[in-house]
Amino acid sequence: MLDATSSYDPMAPRIPVADRTGHRTVPETTRRTDRIPGTRYGNRPTMKDVAARAGVGLKTVSRVVNGEPGVTPETERRVQEAIEALGFRRNDSARVLRKGRTASIGLVLEDLADPFYGPLSRAVEEVARAHGALLINGSSAEDADREQELVLALCARRVDGLVVIPAGDDHRYLAPEIKAGVATVFVDRPAGHIDVDVVVSDNFGGARDGVRHLIAHGHRRIGFIGDMPRIHTAAERLRGYRTAMEDAGITVADSWMSLGVTDPERVRRAAEEMLSGPDPVTAIFTGNNRVTVTVIRVLAGHARRVALVGFDDIELADLLQPGVTVVAQDAAALGRTAAERLFRQLDGTLLAPERIELPTRLITRGSGELPPAD
Amino acid sequence: MLDATSSYDPMAPRIPVADRTGHRTVPETTRRTDRIPGTRYGNRPTMKDVAARAGVGLKTVSRVVNGEPGVTPETERRVQEAIEALGFRRNDSARVLRKGRTASIGLVLEDLADPFYGPLSRAVEEVARAHGALLINGSSAEDADREQELVLALCARRVDGLVVIPAGDDHRYLAPEIKAGVATVFVDRPAGHIDVDVVVSDNFGGARDGVRHLIAHGHRRIGFIGDMPRIHTAAERLRGYRTAMEDAGITVADSWMSLGVTDPERVRRAAEEMLSGPDPVTAIFTGNNRVTVTVIRVLAGHARRVALVGFDDIELADLLQPGVTVVAQDAAALGRTAAERLFRQLDGTLLAPERIELPTRLITRGSGELPPAD
DNA sequence: TAGAGCCTGGACAACGTTGTCAGGCTCGGG
DNA sequence: CCCGAGCCTGACAACGTTGTCCAGGCTCTA
């Protein structure tokens, strides 16, 4: 189409060629002067084109397109026909500019490919759909800078609201946006230094209960492998672990805890060390789904039977030998709750920011009920 | 927070109250006349506001915001300061309107919560990000009408391109959009009645090889459980199954094949019937990840050992007893390939639409190598 | 010191849509 | 036959940004 040889780089500041090469700037004007009646070269027909073709006024087309009353059936028919003929579709960008609302919300999460976030994202989408809004999402890859970049890009698009699973821990950069009217809800992890709605799972209680479960089955040397401690959920789950251990009067050895990135390599090493050290653990509590999966693999290669409770449910957990006992959180409920709250903010029916905590559920399947094997 | 009590329904045609109630329309004019110097009530500051505060012209602010050359450091500093002070953020809607490109692409898929689509979506997002574009996605829920609705909504937003995993089989409705310049790539399944780029897995070959594998291990009575036959991938995989059977000189009994929705209930019933009928199968080939998971559950409750090969890899498949043999497709590669092709369309470096087929890979883990147990 | 040329800054129109408002038409009653 | 009421319709401005173009001030050279 028009200008088809230029490379795609829509957001780049358009620096005139002259400034880079010293040569004269080529006049790359998109010639829009010479039109074919009823349409334009390489461009989409607009309401103006439709109006011209139907022989009516611009506003009449607008009325038809938006189903507003006050148009004769005959006129409407003519307009509809012109719309069909030209393949007109309303430009929502222009509409947004005029109306102020974009009917879209943004979702920033860590990684769409993570099985925990898929259902969460879908739940948010469903709620958005019910309110006539589209969902724009972005993955922060657990990087605070990228999170901020994404969030601000979404604000520049003027999304009506934001659902954020934060990677960073300082969100003061969002304050002006919120003040300007962008509805905002944080999910899964709380926001840093700003006062917004937050929807989280009971990470502390869930982890504590999971570890208690292991203790109740006779374990005392219990390991904890989790995500980086700067991630709130990881810290909370660790706290739950510590509390359960403390409540049981167990002194936790440093070698029983391992926090860090959750790539299989590190987790594998951490698990091996816990299992083979001078004070080997008889059970492991894993801090999230990725860790759990890796630890299951490690344990599968071990002779000694080691008990396991994992945070987050995982598919097929019931079919392994033994079944994997987990502390499950409801990802879809997190997403749904957050999105509903978001739209209540947009409705104006919501008052002060609140923190909502959803319960977790211990699902026993066998791995958490193994007795200690010393 | 202007107009904060109105309910959120941004896309609804604004029908004057009088037309529904017979009462007079309340003049809901958003009074924008009385301003505070430097900002507006309940609205975001614009470049105009920034310009006023910095004491420069509108275009100068634009230049600073976009990093264009030709602004003195001193002027730039003043502008930057005003931007900070007012919390200005460029309105990309207006920018889009002016520039014609939105720097966003749309992805329509079946269900974001499906573990197959998460990685695909993420891969598309990464490519988009590398090109400075955001990703808007929507789930069609395997409903052709909803697919069309979503696609057209995305077109109305003027996304620069579309990656579509189609639910329907007639996409003529997209023709005007494509002609108008919307780059389009179909993934996972081909498009109906339009000529566009398509990126698919070798569903036929993969299924055929999977079934051959079972045949090679001595099976002759092999069942096939798949998705609805109107879904292209399902049909292709069935064709692969039929071909493999035919090539081996095996006559397929009707009772060995079951196609339909992939909810656990139906799949479970289908599996049970195949296993208990007058001519029970000794092996099952499953048509996608959801089916495979359900069938694994069914087989786990059966005494007789039944061989299984599934289409799509599934997490933890290696840890089950026996490990699950699968025909794996690379979801991320599908997404990446499609997105890259999309941006090559936008670059203008792409010519005729093409069909790209990515290979599948048979991963043997045990379940497919079980001998027939009659 | 004057003239040429460059650099910076700003006025203005345009992008496509929607809200406002006024004009023209028809119809019924006086 | 005239007038007011009510319904359709269309002209116009505005939304916030960017591209074009011009003016004024500066530097540099002859």
Instruction: Return the residue in A7, A117, A160, A319 with the most chain B beta carbons within 10 A, the one to mutate for interface testing.
Output: A319
What does the radius of gyration of chain B's CA atoms come to, in whole angstroms? 28
Among chain A residues, the shortest Cα distance to B3 is held by A348
Q: Which of A37-41, B21-25, B237-241 has the lowest mean pLDDT?
A: B21-25
Neighbours of A357 (CB within 10 A): 13
What would the mean pLDDT of B259-269 be, rounded to a whole number? 96
Nucleotide nearest residue A47, measured CA to C1': C16
pLDDT at position B68 is: 86
Residue where the block lists tokens 């947004």: A96
Domain of A163? 102-201+332-358
Distance in Å from D19's C1' to B87's CA comes to: 26
On whether both A301 and A278 belong to a single domain, the answer is yes
**Is residue A148 situated within a structural domain?**
yes
Joined together, the tokens standing for residue B101 give 């490109």
On whether both A86 and A133 belong to a single domain, the answer is no
On whether both A207 and A324 belong to a single domain, the answer is yes
* CATH label of the domain that carries residue B191: 3.40.50.2300
pLDDT at position B329 is: 97
Instruction: For residue A6, name the pLDDT band (cuts at 50, 70, 90).
Output: very low
**Is residue A371 situated within a structural domain?**
no
Closest CA to B224 of B96, B297, B311, B147: B311
On whether both B134 and B221 belong to a single domain, the answer is no
Whether B277 contacts B244, CB under 8 Å: no
SS3 B258: strand
Count the domains in chain B: 3
Whether B330 contacts B358, CB under 8 Å: yes
**Is residue A21 situated within a structural domain?**
no
Last residue of a domain, one of A45, A66, A90: A90
On whether both A181 and A216 belong to a single domain, the answer is no
Q: Does residue B15 carry a pLDDT above 60?
A: no
CA torsion angle for A176, A177, A179, A185 (degrees, to 10)? -130
Instruction: For residue A7, name the pLDDT band (cuts at 50, 70, 90).
Output: low
β-bridge pairing B197-201 and A104-109? unpaired
On whether both A197 and A114 belong to a single domain, the answer is yes
pLDDT at position B26 is: 28
Instruction: For residue B69, name the pLDDT band (cuts at 50, 70, 90).
Output: confident
On whether both B226 and B194 belong to a single domain, the answer is no
**Is residue B17 situated within a structural domain?**
no
Amino acid, res. B304: R
Q: Do B156 and A89 touch (CB under 8 A)?
A: yes
Closest CA to A115 of B62, B112, B77: B112
B289-325: pLDDT as tens digits:
999 999 999 999 998 999 999 999 999 999 998 999 9
Distance in Å from D24's C1' to B46's CA comes to: 27
Q: Give A221 or B38, the one with higher predicted confidence.
A: A221
> What is the DSSP secondary-structure string of B118-165?
HHHHHHHHHHHHHTT-EEEEEE-TT-HHHHHHHHHHHHHTT-SEEEE-
Q: Give B32 or B136, the one with higher predicted confidence.
A: B136
Joined together, the tokens standing for residue A138 give 């972005």
On whether both B55 and B138 belong to a single domain, the answer is no
Closest CA to A110 of A144, A158, A159: A144
Whether A198 contacts A206, CB under 8 Å: no
Closest CA to B291 of B217, B207, B373, B214: B207
Instruction: For residue A62, name the pLDDT band (cuts at 50, 70, 90).
Output: very high
Instruction: Return the residue in B116, B157, B184 with the most chain A beta carbons within 10 A, the one to mutate for interface testing.
Output: B157
On whether both B273 and B346 belong to a single domain, the answer is no
Assess whether A14 (CB) lies less than 7 A from strand D.
yes
Chain B residues near residue A115 by CB distance under 8 angstroms: 115, 118, 315
Distance from the Cα of A25 to chain B's closest Cα (Å) equals 14
**Is residue A243 situated within a structural domain?**
yes
Assess whether B35 (CB) lies less than 7 A from strand D.
no
What would the mean pLDDT of A340-363 be, rounded to a whole number? 92
Instruction: For residue A20, name the pLDDT band (cuts at 50, 70, 90).
Output: very low
On whether both B212 and B306 belong to a single domain, the answer is yes
Beta-carbon contacts of B217 under 8 Å, excluding residues fewer than 6 positions away, are B283, B307, B368, B369, B370, B371, B372
A246-295: pLDDT as tens digits:
999 999 999 999 999 999 999 999 999 999 988 899 999 999 999 999 99
